[in-house]
Chains A and B, each alone.
Chain A
Amino acid sequence: MGAIVTAEGLRKSFAKRGATSPPVLDGLDLELEEGSVLALLGPNGAGKTTTVRILATLLRPDAGRATVAGLDVVRDARRVREIISLTGQQVAVDARQTGAENLTMMGHLAHLPRRVVPDRVAELLTAFDLGDAASRRVDTYSGGMRRRLDLAAGLLTRPRIMFLDEPTTGLDPRSRQALWDVVRDVVEQGTSVFLTTQYLEEADRLARRVALVDGGRVVAEGTPAQLKSQVGEAGVELTLPSPSDAARLAPALDAATVDGARVRVPTDGSVAHVRSVLSTVEAVGVTPEHWEMRTPTLDDVFLTLTGHVGQTRTARTAEVAA
């Protein structure tokens, strides 16, 4: 399957005339493969929301080009709107309408056939565990319930592409888990999902591909596994009682590095290799206080590629993209 969303060289600046502030988007490229999930991962101010707003036809780019299902998001905005749904950072439901009224309204606005609307609304309320609250006003809902209703509103039409802008920000762990389940279901039914998040775990769990964005550009892109392998291999990390024990152990192990009382040995993660490392430890006759397998996390990737989380610009693109 091909790309269902593409962006090439997107640029956007909100600088007022005369003021010099860096552009929000500075030549952003990306692709979402049809039927999959792409996570745009980055700190606040990296340009995630701006990217989503351009792709969802809410904002025109200053330069560059973006398509959704082959349609240009600027020239064919109206047709793009027929096949996407957007769930933004702010919950977009009316507090003074009930859950069912909110969804019914969205169903009509999305031009679902009239006869279909009541069934579809009931179906979604049940699916999102809001059946009991359907006829209650939304101002009596908890934050998690509002978010679920908000997501349901985005799914009425079974959109081909769903844009989710930081959908789990502010949710408790249970609601977050429920949302992840929903996203997986949606993808199984054929919808492509474009997700932005600040949470590495979320990107890791949901996305087939992750684009790390910083300073308005994609600084690295790939599967979570590919990105992790860019920061280094897995390793066995042993913490010994003293630095002298560490110094005694290290020469016996291949490619070990010492950091105080800690020894780190690269590994391919196979049982055989890990067993041989541990056997060597026994043979040398030191007793680690603690040991663990360390695999790089997306956190490591992020810190390596962008420097501090929240920092706006780094110049390490070249090393990694290579």
Chain B
Amino acid sequence: MTSLFRDVSTMTVRGLRLVSRDVDAVITAVLLPVVILLMFVLVFGGALDVGTDYINYVTPGVILLAAGFGAANTALAVEHDMSSGMVERLRSMPVTAWTVLSGHVAASLVKNLVTTAIVFGVSILMGFRPDATALEWLAVVGMILLFVGWITWLAALVGVLVRSPDAAGGFSFVVMFLPYVSSAFVPVDTLPSWMRGFAEHQPVTPVIETVRGLLAGDVVPAADPGGAAALAVVWCLVLGVTFAVAAGLAFRARR
């Protein structure tokens, strides 16, 4: 057990070094969410009527979208490990598959916390006025980490399965799609009915509703916020565990 802890912390330190020293990726991770935030608020925001200041509505969505981008980098990092000699060496050592991947996932969590803080900062400068207690902020951070967790484990699984960096990069398109077809940017009831069914029942929507509800109770729709939170947590845990197990198995099975 102690060796497991040591392995995971060793791999996390590595993951953080690799992430923080990749200058291009750092710039992208910081700039992209900020640009998206500016674009949604300044370009689309004026035309969108969501019943409140658009910046209050959209900030949680931008944060989850940024998490998707961040996860795409994890897919690339894992793919690089798999196609370079690193994985051969690690697999010839007494280190479990899960440990190797968890370093990347932990690094992704830390990186996304930083990105999230920056997005919140810019958003507050632009007029976002959250109304959350310290405990609610803690819950917001926890919810975002749970979301980043499952999406990063999915990215790790993709990184193990694909055979080229291009394919790993393609992952970002899939995860970008999810927040768009949710209540992240526009209320679900404005979507065409066939899309609404998907939007209402996919994992991003309850996460968005929960984060939004925690930050400012007044924009939560009539739907029961407690129910959304429970649903969001269950979604994230089930998906996270599923993808973590699948990634570990795929890692071991890949020859």
Chain A interface (Cβ < 8 Å from any Cβ of B)? 53, 56-59, 78, 81-82, 84-94, 96-97, 101, 105-106, 108-111, 137, 150, 153-154, 163
Contact = CB atoms under 8 A, between A and B. Distances in A.
Contacts of A81: 92-94
A111 B94 contact: yes
A14 to B, nearest CB: 9
Q: Most chain-B CB neighbours within 10 Å: which of A57, A59, A90?
A: A90
A96 B17 contact: yes
A52 to B, nearest CB: 10
B129 interface: no
Interface of B: 3, 6-7, 10-11, 13-14, 17-18, 21-22, 84-86, 88-95, 255
A239 B84 CA distance: 52
Given A94-B17, A96-B17, A109-B95, 11 more contacts: A59-B255, A85-B92, A85-B93, A88-B85, A88-B88, A88-B89, A89-B85, A94-B86, A97-B17, A105-B10, A105-B13
Contacts of B13: 105
B89 A153 contact: yes
Contacts of B94: 78, 81-82, 110-111
B86 A110 contact: no
Q: Most chain-A CB neighbours within 10 Å: which of B13, B14, B21, B86?
A: B14
Please classify the interface of chain B as helix (H, G, I), strand (E, B), loop, or mixed, using the class held by over half of its residues. Answer: helix
Q: Most chain-B CB neighbours within 10 Å: which of A87, A88, A110?
A: A88
Contact of B18 (A59, A91, A96): A96
Contact of B6 (A84, A96, A97, A111): A111
B88 A58 contact: yes
B144 to A, nearest CB: 26
Given A86-B92, A92-B84, A109-B93, A58 B14 contact: no
A94 B255 contact: no
Contacts of A96: 17-18, 21-22
Please classify the interface of chain A as helix (H, G, I), strand (E, B), loop, or mixed, using the class held by over half of its residues. Answer: mixed
5 contacts: A58-B88, A81-B92, A86-B88, A109-B7, A110-B94
Contacts of A53: 88
A137 B95 CA distance: 25
A-B interface, 8 closest residue pairs, ranked by CB to CB distance from nearest: A90-B85, A92-B85, A86-B92, A92-B89, A108-B10, A96-B21, A88-B88, A81-B94
Nearest to A108: B10
A105 B14 contact: yes
A53 B6 CA distance: 27
Contacts of A101: 17
A88 B92 CA distance: 10
A192 to B, nearest CB: 15
B93 to A, nearest CB: 6
A17 to B, nearest CB: 16
Contact of B88 (A78, A90, A93): A90
A92 B86 contact: yes
Nearest to B255: A59
Contacts of A86: 88-89, 92
Contacts of B92: 56-58, 81, 84-86, 163
A88 B88 CA distance: 7
A262 B226 CA distance: 97
Contacts of B6: 108, 111
Nearest to A78: B94
A245 B64 CA distance: 90
